[in-house]
Structure 1
Amino acid sequence: MSFQSRLKNLRLEAKLTQQDVANKLGITRQAYGYYESEKSKREPDHDSTQKLARIFDVSLDYLLGATESKIIVANQIINITKEEIKLLNELKKHPTMLHDLASNPEKKIKELVKLYQMKKMLLEEDEGEYGDSFDE
C-alpha cells in the first residue's frame, strides 16, 4: 500500500476531513490533498510526517510502509490482530486496566484481550441464564 493511500485510509478511519488534518498540520487543505494524491510527487517534510503519525496514533514505520503494524504501546510497535485492536480500543476506556503495559506490552495486551473476551462471554451466559434484567 502506498504512503498516499495509507494516509487517506487513516484519515477516513479517523472520520476526519482533509481540512481537519490540514488544520492540525497548520497547512492548507490543498497542500494536504497533495499528500494523499497518487498523482502528486509532493510528500510531507519530516516534521509533518511525525505530526501525521501522532494525529493518527500510528508509528512512523507504519505510516511510511515499513511495517503493517500500526499500534504503539509504551514506545514499542506491537503486532496484534484487527479484533485485538478493536478490543484494545474498548479497553482504553478503562485506563486503570492498562497501567502496566510498559513491560512486554504485546503479551499484556493479548492477556487483557483474553480477559475481556472471557468477561464478555460470562456476561452473555449470565444474560441467557438469568434474563436481561432482575425483573424477570
Structure 2
Amino acid sequence: MSILGNRIRNLRDSEDIQQVDFAKKIGVSNVVLSRYESGERKPDYETLIKIADYFDVTTDYLLGKTETPGAQNTVTVSGQEIKLSIEELKVFEELKKHPIMFHDLATDPETKVKELIKLYKMKKMFLEDDKEEYGDGFGELED
C-alpha cells in the first residue's frame, strides 16, 4: 500500500465514512477509490484536490511530502507566535479589521485568538441560518 492510499483510508476511517459514500462525494467509482487506497492507481490532479478539500488537508500531506495534515501559518500576537490553519488564518485576517476585538490579548493570546475565531464562525453560521429562514427580512409584499 502507498503513503497516499494509507492516508486516504486513514482519513476516511477517522471521518467514519464508508468507501462507497466517499467515492460518490469525490466523483469516482468505489472500485477506483479502492485502487487508490491499495496503491494500484493514483488519482488525477482534480481528484487529488477534491480529496484534500474534503478532509481539509494539503495535497502535500496526502502525497507524503509532509507529516502535517493541514497547512499551518504563523501569526504573531502580543509577541507570541500562533499557528493557525488556512481557514483560521482567513478568519483571523477578517477579525483584524475590527481591532476592538483584540484589546485583551496580552495574556494567553493563542487561546484568546482561537476563541475569537470560534465565536466568529458561530456568528457567521447563525447569520447564514437566519438568511435561509427569514430571507432578506422583508418577506413577500401583497399588492
Q: Per the shorter chain, which TM-score range?
A: 0.5 to 0.7
| CA-CA distance at 1:64 after TM superposition | 0.8
Partner residue in 1 for 2:36? 35
In structure 1, distance between residues paired with 2:7 and 2:19: 14
Kindly indicate whether the alpha-carbon contact (under 8 Å) linking 2:3 and 2:62 is maintained by their aligned counterparts in 1: no
User: Superposition RMSD on alpha carbons, in Å?
Assistant: 3.7
In structure 2, distance between residues paired with 1:17 and 1:46: 23
Give the direction of change, closer, same or farther, for the CA distance of 1:53–1:115 in structure 2 (3 Å limit): same
| CA-CA distance at 1:111 after TM superposition | 3.7
| CA-CA distance at 1:78 after TM superposition | 4.3
Kindly indicate whether the alpha-carbon contact (under 8 Å) linking 1:69 and 1:78 is maintained by their aligned counterparts in 2: no
For 2:70, the aligned partner's letter is I
For 1:2, the aligned partner's letter is I
Kindly indicate whether the alpha-carbon contact (under 8 Å) linking 1:71 and 1:78 is maintained by their aligned counterparts in 2: no
Partner residue in 1 for 2:105? none
Which of 92, 95, 100 in structure 1 is aligned with 2:92?
100
Partner residue in 1 for 2:49? 50
Partner residue in 1 for 2:21? 20
Query: Which structure 1 segments of 5+ residues have no match?
Result: 80-87, 104-109, 117-136
Q: Percent identity?
A: 32
Give the direction of change, closer, same or farther, for the CA distance of 1:17–1:44 in structure 2 (3 Å limit): same
Q: Specify the SS of the correspondent of 2:92.
A: coil
- Residues 22-53 of structure 1, C-alpha deviations (whole Å, 9 max, x = no match): 0012111111111111xx42111111001100
Give the direction of change, closer, same or farther, for the CA distance of 1:66–1:115 in structure 2 (3 Å limit): same
For 1:50, the aligned partner's letter is I
Query: What are the residue-to-residue correspondences of 1:1-136 with 2, within 5 Å?
Result: 2-37=3-38, 40-72=39-71, 77-78=72-73, 99-100=91-92, 111-112=109-110, 114-115=111-112
In structure 1, distance between residues paired with 2:53 and 2:10: 15
After TM superposition, which residue ranges in structure 1, 4 or more long, deviate above 6 angstroms?
Answer: none
Query: Which structure 2 segments of 5+ residues have no match?
Result: 75-83, 96-107, 114-143
In structure 1, distance between residues paired with 2:10 and 2:4: 10
How many corresponding residue pairs?
Answer: 93
Query: Of the two, which has the highest radius of gyration?
Result: 2
| CA-CA distance at 1:115 after TM superposition | 4.1
